[in-house]
Structure 1
């Protein structure tokens, strides 16, 4: 009986150790940026590109201390008018296909800005993925008409499991 318990314990321990070495999909976020806002603006937006090294995941929400509320949005054409609408169910991220959140398409809305977004400053943005958990990035604020990140500073973040870590 004792040998059986020891074997069961050893098999369980070995299984746990092997499970811990399995590859977890890694999320990378590149080229984050935002646009400077007018002094009286109550909303802003953030843009970025998300990649996953294997499998798939879903960006389900975002948060930032610079706004009261943060939503995932898209642009839709309704009766010839472009309108922004919240994305229902999250934004899919699939290996081999960068997911771009950019002006005129998918983006992150910062609603109820606590202060204007000023060119040359930056702010933290936490992205929450269904499987990978939270990934926090630093978003530089560019000029009001910026269409893309001026340059990638190489300080993008990666998420593994439920924790993001910064390089």
Structure 2
């Protein structure tokens, strides 16, 4: 009886710690655009919400969909933005980091195969404090193609 009670307490503690740990960083609306057969890279976008009272630093990401993953940020160069490697992304306490086409991005290089619409890839976000957040990222239709088609139909 005592062994059964101890096992239950351990299981409840693990479940509580896991759900509390996972709630510290939330990933909202992740997506990656579908790619064509000759595309070598793609970017992951999402909102990363820091629910803690401490800064969090995203320092890397991993996926089996690409041979390399980089964090990149947009740097304003006159009238155009230039993408540069970033050593980390800082997420202030109780705030949101927006990963977007015109800003910070997680870039997948050396895609293993084309990313097809209505599938998903798995990405693990790695934080400076040792946190790891697994994210299932849906592959969506190319937003730029959709916007281009919309603009053409308005002409």
TM-score, reference length from structure 1: 0.69
Q: What is the Cα-based RMSD across aligned positions, in Å?
A: 1.8
- Residue 41 of structure 1 aligns to a residue whose secondary structure is coil
Task: Tell me what 2:131 maps to.
Answer: 133
Deviation of the 1:77 alpha carbon: 2.6
- In the alignment, the residues of structure 2 paired with residue 40 and residue 77 of structure 1 have an alpha-carbon distance, to the nearest angstrom, of 29
CA contact (8 A) 1:57 1:132 kept: no
Answering whether residue 55 of structure 2 is matched by residue 56 of structure 1, we say yes
- In the alignment, the residues of structure 1 paired with residue 81 and residue 100 of structure 2 have an alpha-carbon distance, to the nearest angstrom, of 15
1:4-153 counterparts in 2 under 5 A?
26-54=24-52, 55-88=54-87, 90-145=88-143
Deviation of the 1:85 alpha carbon: 1.1
Runs of 4+ in 1 over 4 A off after TM superposition: none
Q: Aligned residues, how many?
A: 124
- In the alignment, the residues of structure 2 paired with residue 71 and residue 95 of structure 1 have an alpha-carbon distance, to the nearest angstrom, of 24
Q: Which has the larger radius of gyration?
A: 1
- In the alignment, the residues of structure 2 paired with residue 26 and residue 36 of structure 1 have an alpha-carbon distance, to the nearest angstrom, of 30
- The CA deviation string for residues 75-119 of structure 1, in whole angstroms up to 9 with x for no partner, is 22325332211113x101122221111111001000000101111
- Residue 76 of structure 2 aligns to a residue whose secondary structure is strand
TM-score, reference length from structure 2: 0.74
Larger helix fraction of residues: 2
